[in-house]
Amino acid sequence: MYKTGAGSEIQTTILPTSKPNSFQQRIQLIGTGKLDYSPTNPETTEVKKVSDKELVVTISQDSIKQYELKIDKALAAKDVSAASGEVIFNKMACATCHSADGAKSHGPTLLGLAGSHRPIIGMKEKQLADDAYIRESILAPNKKVVEGFPPNYMPVFNLPENEVDSLLLYIKTFKNK
């Protein structure tokens, strides 16, 4: 929540959106005054004025629109191992959005993820990043969205169980030294 000078408040809520590659935010002014918003990039930002005190802003991620999944479905790896996980990670281009070394990217870094506690949008308590959470994050990325990151951004990968297991083993090797 932002505080405005006049003692009014601006409240923002991230809205779920069915549109791929985009996210929506409701911006509400609580108190006196009028709300206006001119986006810095009108090409990727759409502003809908609901009232003088409420705007709905839709941002489409250009970089993500250009992101095309070029997946070679015929993966050589059939076994379950961290090594196979690495092959899948590279083939699926997970690194386009996730670093393994703490660097910022489109998505959260996966360094030190396993066993850590993640802030999730709409959840009071932090989520333990156990095996179940990491699996779910890969198969159904919009079920629990990490704070600070947009929903509907990570593509849904329909991966077979053995590949998810391998990815899980590989992600667990990203440990803080």
Q: Rounded to an integer, what distance in angstroms lies between the CA atom of residue 119 and that of residue 31?
A: 30
The yes or no reply on residue 167 touching ligand HEC (CB under 6 A) is yes
Per CB under 6 A, the list member of 29, 94, 100, 111 interacting with ligand HEC is 94
Pair 37, 29: CB distance under 8 Å:
no
Q: Could you give the C-alpha distances from 83 to 17, 77, 100, 129, 166, in angstroms and in order?
A: 36, 9, 15, 21, 8
Stretch that binds ligand HEC, among 9-17, 45-53, 74-82, 141-149 (CB under 6 A): 141-149
List CB contacts of 70: < 8 A, sequence separation 6 or more: 93
In angstroms, give the least distance from the CB of 122 to ligand HEC: 12
The yes or no reply on residue 114 touching ligand HEC (CB under 6 A) is no
The yes or no reply on residue 113 touching ligand HEC (CB under 6 A) is yes
Pair 126, 116: CB distance under 8 Å:
no
* DSSP conformation class of 18: S
The yes or no reply on residue 138 touching ligand HEC (CB under 6 A) is yes
Per CB under 6 A, the list member of 146, 165, 166, 169 interacting with ligand HEC is 146
List of residues contacting ligand HEC (CB under 6 A): 64, 67, 92-94, 96-98, 106-108, 113, 118, 129, 134, 137-138, 141, 145-146, 149, 153-155, 157, 167
